[in-house]
Amino acid sequence: MEGKTALVTGAAGGIGEAIVNALAERGARVAAVDRDADRLRERVKYAVEQGYPVQSFPADITSSTEVESLVDDAEALMGPIDYLVNAAGVLRLAEARKLTDEEWATTFAVNTTGVFFVSRAVVNRMVTRRSGAIVTVASNAAGTARVEMSAYAASKAAATMFTKCLGLEVAEYGIRANIVAPGSTYTPMLTSMWKDDSGAQASLDGVPEAYRVGIPLRKLAQPGDVADAVVFLLSDKAAHITMHDLTVDGGAALGV
């Protein structure tokens, strides 16, 4: 990955930050994108202190205008984008019938429409170069029903199928598009779901009343576990893999 350029959304989040650092460790120049400018600045400062070639690009991926400007700026400063990782995501918990209009709209704006806007902007440039690799970070919830996660699960399912369709359409240009679907990963998004100190154990053991099984490997994923899967699918070691959905959940979805 030496000398390649990557753009990573959600770069201030737990998984996004791990992906940025994993790519930079392997020699890629990384355009780190997030709406939270202050937190992004802190993450990028740390990466730069480690000697990584990372630059921050604060942007709202729910705006197509901002996204087009972002991609133009990133390519002007860092070179043509070889890798795209759609890692931005939000979670709004509520029973389906109690979700507000705002909760539903915000979830899809970031998790689905944002993936569309960024992928479209980057891929239109990749096509002219006839190369590139994309990974969308979805969720095992995209294929497994979860209590109080209907908006999140539906948005991730939509992003998953969008990415597969995109991969089919751009395969003739040598562009690959894959999905990584994490399960419970030790990030602020996961811990925000815990009501007390028993949250971690409940993730491991399962919650029968919520029809949720535990994690057969008996451990939570770390952000680096997800980042490793993303790096593999972007790399030349996955040169003949496209439209694939790689689940990284310790067996929580029972292989479905």
Is 197 contained in some domain?
no
163 φ, ψ (degrees, to nearest 5) = -65, -40
Tokens standing for residue 234: 């972007």
Is 49 contained in some domain?
yes
Residue 159 near residue 105, CB atoms below 8 Å: no
Q: What is the pLDDT of residue 152?
A: 98
Is 179 contained in some domain?
yes
Q: What is the pLDDT of residue 194?
A: 81
Is 124 contained in some domain?
yes
CB atoms within 10 A of CB 50: 10
Is 34 contained in some domain?
yes
Strands (E) located in the chain: 5-9, 29-34, 54-58, 83-86, 132-137, 175-182, 206-207, 212-213, 245-248
- Report the domain count for the chain: 1
Write down the H helix ranges in 36-149.
37-49, 64-78, 101-108, 114-129
Q: What is the pLDDT of residue 191?
A: 83
Is 229 contained in some domain?
yes
Is 83 contained in some domain?
yes
Annotated catalytic residue, options 152, 173, 186, 211: 152
What are the residues facing 247 on neighbouring strands? Answer: 181
Is residue 173 part of the annotated active site? The answer reads no
- The full length of the chain comes to 256
Residue among 29, 40, 26 nearest 6 (CA):
29
Is 215 contained in some domain?
no
Range of the domain at 24: 5-185+223-245
Q: pTM for the full model?
A: 0.95
Residue among 6, 32, 33 nearest 110 (CA):
33
Q: Divide the 256 residues of the chain into consecutive groups of 10 and give the mean pLDDT of each group.
A: 96 97 97 97 95 97 98 98 98 97 98 98 98 98 96 98 98 98 89 81 91 94 97 98 98 93
**CATH code at position 35:** 3.40.50.720
Residue 254 near residue 45, CB atoms below 8 Å: no
Residue among 48, 45, 36 nearest 12 (CA):
36
Q: Reduce the DSSP state of residue 106 to 3 states and report it.
A: helix
